Structure 1
């Protein structure tokens, strides 16, 4: 089974320092849904792993988060693709949970749920915490230059073995050429 783990904000959709708090604020990045659709057609399972501290901060409810994800799934289906599962951490930065990236708990949970060794499973993110969680879980970290990717690149100190792509579409091109 081919599995890809993607962060959501800044990778699949536009990000906001004020958080994505409603379905109307969720806007796909150019080419991202088509890239996921290409993975789906090639037999990959695509899973989202996303910190969603806006819930802990009281900015939106779980019901609203589910509505945002329903919009994502609907638009993705229209592009011919699907997301196999969405894993989220609803905790805030000070909650000391094991699932909030940069900790690897959410990714390790994905590995357990799919009964797969995460060694070299590609995981795409736009922030250092995404890459750190991927590396700690044994995944192959990929930095995407959309969202906060450029800022993350500029700060440097990326986990060993991190690969870089201009967009999710460019990264998927590489994966599908290697398959």
Structure 2
């Protein structure tokens, strides 16, 4: 069983609710946050699997078609590849908020499914998000939960202002756990 890093997408990997973009409903609206490529490359080089787990209620609400969501994710993969960084898989919940599914965070369904599919040890893995629903999903799945946000208060195991700073801590913690 391998460890992994599960990353929320909007607000952790790419811009959302900024001057440039409100929501990412088209590939042209995908802008990576500073340091994301370096953080994901560092995870890759450390031997950590990298997964994206993202609520995409805009599909269920009709703001975007599922095919367009796939195009957004293809653009994400292309942008990361230019920096030699890679994600191993992407899971998304297309359901409307409050639909009661088991995949929409804060439920841990996406993490559990990816862990089963890829042979991941959740107790040695990390969930990185920018909202409480991400932290709760990570904790419910048995992961160390990391908040990437400024001035937020949650029950996260650690908090950092951005993914690159979180990556440095995660890699040190991962190396420490390997030595045990």
Please, what TM-score do these two structures have when normalized by structure 1?
0.89
What is residue 49 of structure 1 aligned with on the other side? 53
- The reply on whether 1:95 has 2:96 as its aligned counterpart is no
> Alpha-carbon deviation of 1:116?
2.6
For the 8 Å contact 1:49–1:88, the answer to whether it is kept is yes
8 Å Cα contact 2:60-2:96 kept in structure 1 = yes
Give unmatched runs, 5+ long, in structure 1: none
Q: Could you tell me which residue of structure 1 aligns to residue 42 of structure 2?
A: 38
Query: How far 1:8 moved relative to its partner?
Result: 0.3
The CA RMSD measured in Å over matched residues stands at 1.5
Q: Name the CA distance, whole Å, in 1 between partners of 2:65 and 2:17.
A: 17
The separation in 2 between residues aligned to 1:61 and 1:114, in whole angstroms, is: 27
| C-alpha displacement of 1:175 | 2.1
**What's 1:166 paired with?**
161
Q: Structure 1 residue aligned with 2:126, among 118, 122, 128? A: 122
The Cα shift of 1:22 comes to: 0.5
Match of 2:12 in 1: 11
Q: Which residue of 2 aligns with 1:20?
A: 24
Residue 90 of structure 1: CA displacement?
A: 0.3
Structure 1 residue 174: deviation in Å?
1.3
Secondary structure of 2:58's aligned partner: coil
Q: TM-score, normalised by structure 2?
A: 0.89
Decide which of 110, 113, 117 is 2:114's aligned counterpart. Answer: 110
Q: Deviations over 1:86-130 (max 9, x none)?
A: 000000112110100011111111221122331141110000000
Structure 1 outlier segments of 4+, above 6 Å: none
What 5-or-longer segments of structure 2 have no aligned partner? 176-180
Cα deviation 1:57-89 (Å, max 9, x = unaligned): 101111111111111101100011101000000
